[in-house]
Chain A
Amino acid sequence: MFSFSRLRSKRDGQTDPKGTISTSESENDILIEDLNIYYSGKKAVDDVSMRIKEKSVTAFIGPSGCGKSTLLRNINRMNEEIVGCTFDGRILWMGQNILDRKVDPVSLRRRIGMVFQKPNPFPKSIFDNIAYGPKLLGIRNKKELAGIVERILKDAALWEEVKDRLKDPAMGLSGGQQQRLCIARALAVEPDVILMDEPCSALDPIATAKIEDLINELKKEYTVVIVTHNMQQAARISDNTGFMYLGKMIEFGRTQQIFERPKEELTEKYIRGRFG
């Protein structure tokens, strides 16, 4: 387990005394600029601009329907799969506007993986679930695939539990195991960013704790963006937090600051649970 306090102090070292986000900028940060998202013309995300720092955990919180999932789904352009969803604005990453038509969503999604609210393993074996992505990318050698599956399952802290039943259907796993399998599956294509859309909402507290541990470990190597309706979870695992309301990013800053000294009245109301 990781010491929560140690992490926090380390993070504090990166920020300046005022509590604003560190100004050190990297090309690997995800820079969202003036992003608007519409469902059949109706605005769901309203003029959001923000910088998501690499190798950190960024959480989006807010009441249901505030647009946090919609915003998340735009980062790997999953919104394009929804009929009637349109967007404008820019998301800069690795020196490119990834919303540009010239950027291929297929290769983008390989670099920016996603984990969904409901565990959604394919109705295949555990092995085939993990191997699906690498196979798409042209790895056919059985031995090589077996090596990848083992390494990835170890990364996702699932190996010990499933190593004797890799050929069994993934649907036979418990909910928490299924969700870690889905995280593992996302890791198997070696992305740089992992988007998580309320990954623990369907899980029990024990399973949730395991996923949070995993997220803590993941952020050393990956940029993690997580949507959660659970404020405690955001406080526990994230470095930066954005509060959204009615499609607008009301406040975005260091997690500690958002939860302890929110600048906006709306944020404070929400944090304190005094919300319409």
Chain B
Amino acid sequence: MNTGGYLRGRRSPLTKRVSGLSERAVITFLFLASSAAVFITIAIIYTLVEGTFNFFSFEEVKLFNFLFGTGWVPSGRDPEFGMLPLISGTLMVAGGTIVIAGPIGIGAALFLSEYAPFKLRTFLKPVVELLAGIPSIVYGFFALFTIGPLIRDIFPEATYFNVLQGVIVMSFMVLPIIVSISDDAMKAVPRYLREASLALGATKWETSFKVVIPAASSGIAASILLGIARAIGETMVVTLAVGSVAGFHFNFLKEAQPMTSYIAQTATGDIPPGTPAAEAAFAVALVLFLLTFLINRIAGRIVFRIKKGSMAKREPSFLKKKALEIKDSILKKDTMIEEETVSRVIRIDRSKRSIPEKGQDRRLRIRHIKGTLGASLSALCLVIAVIFLIYLLYDVFKGGYGVISWDFLTGEPGWRVSELSIMPAIMGSIYLMLLTLVFAVPVSVATAIYFNEIARDTFYTRFIKRMIQNLAGVPSIVIGLVGLTIFVRLFDLGTSLLAGSLTLALMMMPIIVVSSEEALKAVPQSFREAARGMGATRWQTVKDHVLPNAVPGMITGTILALSRAIGETAPILFIGAIFAKTAPNGVMDSFVALPLTIFYWSRQVEEYKPFAEGTILVLLAILLTMNAFAIIIRYRSQKRRDW
């Protein structure tokens, strides 16, 4: 009789490490990949500090003037580098954006969270998020060519470039951020608070306005802050629509130059490198970086608290608790339990009424009218957003579909308007995307695996995680400068496809890390425990049980990130070419891309406008296809999964 099992000969002594060399190699690789964030951060800081240092080493540049001067005339015989005009430009754009987007966003979020029935909500939320998926270059185009003429009709004194048109369009750009984070915050307000208010005889509007909004206020504040950070860091809308002449004023109908617009100008204008005017971009970028970093940090902390759920029942903060304790000790009162024995029930006398019955009926009618008005107003906010989206799409389609032809899509372009073709740009964008995929995905996925599956919660991991969060908030034009300094100049890659895709990879990495981590987190903990319980090593568990279940989520997240990459203009503004007759032949070739093409054509004479619109259509079509793929993959994997 054979009493031994078939595995008998394979038993290893308990002291032997099962995780062999390959296991340790894999984990080392994951660890190294996770450090990529550190290198990116160092690259950013190096770029900005080195450039700023160069800038201040010119003798005509003075720190005091830079910070407090009111004139920004970077080139010419008598250059002036006073930053205040750039700051005022940025302030106008960000401030104006928030004045419009704040109320509309909060109203729309309130409607989604409190009033919209489930089905309407599941339909409307993606529609609002679609606004976030449209490339910023398209918004800039829309601001300049559609909103601009409208504004000049209403205010004849408005100039061709003006702050207002940028602000209006930017408002809808940041709207999805405000709506989705405010909506999360309102949804996180526990149901029992709403019930408490309703049970007291409050109307739905009163409950929403006096209980839900105050309870969600910190989340709403965070959404506003993130909206401000986005508006400050946005480049293409302001470059196209707000202008490139700095002036220290607060007139919304005049041209202004926000910080990002100046940085972009050094990429596109006729500012020769090595001059103070060119190096000034780095100093401005450093200020911009610090500003957005600060705002994102504050907002990030608040959002983190909401996600952890500590907003649900807001305990007084530590300091407040301490203050209460001190107050109590001064009043010579001890703990709460002992206090409870103090009071006695005394006779309740209901004859002493305080609330007059007279007039309550009329008051109630007014309260109901107010409620209906409030609800309609919040619904209107959402309607405005949807109308804007539809109008934008319609407008681009109407202008662009006429120029789409086989020649336009595939022909070899010439310099004349009649010979325009976007074949090199399409190919450039596709190559760019594929290379970005190759550079960004392995590192990002490895980072996500390392943090979610391998690493324990240590100071180092928390540090890196925070770093990745911070990277996600770096303005895209700053990434553009980093690409220019590190890849084009330091690594001597030149303005090549390789340098462009590496730069875009920098931009995409934090996004793919976050979406991959979400996909990993969605795999139930019990799968890991089951595998580890059978003696699988950490990497075996990840490879055989976690990854296969997380892959659909990762693919979805990656496609969405790439669809953002293909629409980005600012990061490759310094690297991409203006014109190419053919598609790039190798990674060291120069390249054009769709968003760059739209950008250059928008700045040409009016005849180019329909071609720019046609290019927008092609870009949007590619984006839509990619998004549809992502949705199909997500849908199919959800349908197939049995957990």
Taking Cβ atoms with an 8 Å cutoff, the residues of A that contact B are 76, 78, 81, 83, 104, 106-111, 113-114, 116, 118, 120-124, 132-134, 136-139, 144, 147-148, 151, 154-155, 157-161, 164-165, 168-169, 171-174, 176-177, 182, 185-186, 188-190, 206-207, 210, 213-214, 216-218, 220-222
Contact = CB atoms under 8 A, between A and B. Distances in A.
A161 B368 contact: no
Given A132-B210, A157-B344, A169-B320, A122 B215 contact: yes
Contacts of B353: 190
A189 B199 CA distance: 10
Given A121-B196, A182-B196, 14 more contacts: A83-B118, A106-B203, A110-B201, A118-B192, A138-B363, A157-B344, A158-B343, A161-B340, A164-B331, A172-B315, A186-B199, A189-B201, A216-B345, A217-B348
B196 A122 contact: yes
Nearest to B362: A138
Contacts of B340: 161, 174, 176-177, 206-207, 210
B218 to A, nearest CB: 10
B607 interface: no
B350 interface: yes
Contacts of A171: 313-316
A111 B200 CA distance: 9
A113 B199 contact: yes
Contact of B348 (A113, A161, A207, A220): A220
Nearest to A153: B343
A100 B340 CA distance: 43
Contacts of A222: 350
Which of A108, A137, A151, A171 has the largest number of chain B CB atoms within 10 A? A137
Most chain A CB neighbours (cut-off 10 Å) among B199, B201, B313, B331: B199
Contacts of B320: 169, 172
B210 A116 contact: no
B535 interface: no
6 contacts: A104-B364, A111-B201, A114-B195, A132-B200, A186-B199, A190-B350
B118 A217 contact: no
B196 A106 contact: no
Ranked 5 nearest A-B pairs via Cβ: A110-B201, A114-B199, A120-B192, A160-B343, A221-B350
Interface in B339-355: 339-350, 352-355
Interface string B198-223: 11111100100011001100000000
Contacts of A81: 194-195, 198
A221 B348 contact: yes
Contacts of A177: 336, 340
B256 to A, nearest CB: 41
B532 interface: no
A210 B339 CA distance: 12
A137 B316 CA distance: 29
Given A78-B195, A123-B314, A137-B363, A185 B200 contact: yes
Contacts of A134: 354-355
A217 B345 contact: yes
A217 B347 contact: yes
Nearest to A192: B350
A106 B207 CA distance: 11
Contacts of A206: 337, 340-341
Nearest to B118: A83
A182 B197 CA distance: 11
Contacts of A159: 343
A120 B342 contact: no
Contacts of B117: 83
Given A169-B316, A171-B313, A120 B202 contact: no
Contact of B342 (A132, A160, A174): A160
Nearest to A124: B214
B327 A165 contact: yes
Given A107-B364, A147-B354, A136 B347 contact: no
A172 B316 contact: yes
B521 interface: no
Given A161-B343, A174-B336, A120 B193 contact: yes
Nearest to B312: A123
B367 interface: yes
Contacts of B200: 109-110, 113, 132-133, 136, 185-186, 188-189
A157 B345 contact: yes
B150 interface: no
Given A139-B355, A190-B353, A190-B354, A214 B345 contact: yes
B185 to A, nearest CB: 13
A223 B210 CA distance: 29
B466 interface: no
Contact of B339 (A132, A161, A168): A161
Nearest to B353: A190
A95 to B, nearest CB: 17
A168 B96 CA distance: 37
Contacts of B360: 107, 137-138
B590 to A, nearest CB: 58
B305 interface: no
A81 to B, nearest CB: 6
A99 B27 CA distance: 65
A180 to B, nearest CB: 9
Nearest to B190: A120
Give the residue among B196, B342, B349 with the most A Cβ atoms within 10 A: B196
Nearest to B361: A107
Contact of A144 (B324, B336, B350, B354): B354
Contacts of A121: 196
A176 to B, nearest CB: 6
A190 B355 contact: yes
A83 B336 CA distance: 39
B339 A106 contact: no
Nearest to B342: A160
Contacts of A214: 345
B489 to A, nearest CB: 54
Nearest to A144: B354
Nearest to A139: B355
Contacts of B346: 154-155, 157, 217
Given A132-B197, A138-B363, A151-B354, A172 B324 contact: yes
B316 to A, nearest CB: 5
Nearest to B363: A138
Contacts of B190: 120
Among B203, B341, B343, residue most surrounded by chain A Cβ atoms (within 10 Å): B343
Nearest to A190: B355
A191 B193 CA distance: 19
A221 B346 CA distance: 13
A28 to B, nearest CB: 13
A137 B198 CA distance: 13
Contacts of A216: 345
Nearest to A182: B196
Nearest to A107: B364
Nearest to A151: B352
B462 interface: no
A6 B327 CA distance: 43
Contacts of B202: 106, 132-133, 136
B345 A213 contact: yes
Contacts of B210: 132
A106 B192 contact: no
B321 interface: yes
Nearest to B357: A190
Contacts of A124: 214
Contacts of A113: 199-200
Interface in B302-317: 313-316
A116 to B, nearest CB: 6
Given A109-B200, A176-B340, A206-B340, A155 B348 contact: yes
A206 B340 CA distance: 9
B215 A136 contact: no
A201 to B, nearest CB: 13
A148 B354 contact: yes
Contacts of A78: 195, 198-199
Contact of A116 (B195, B324, B348): B195
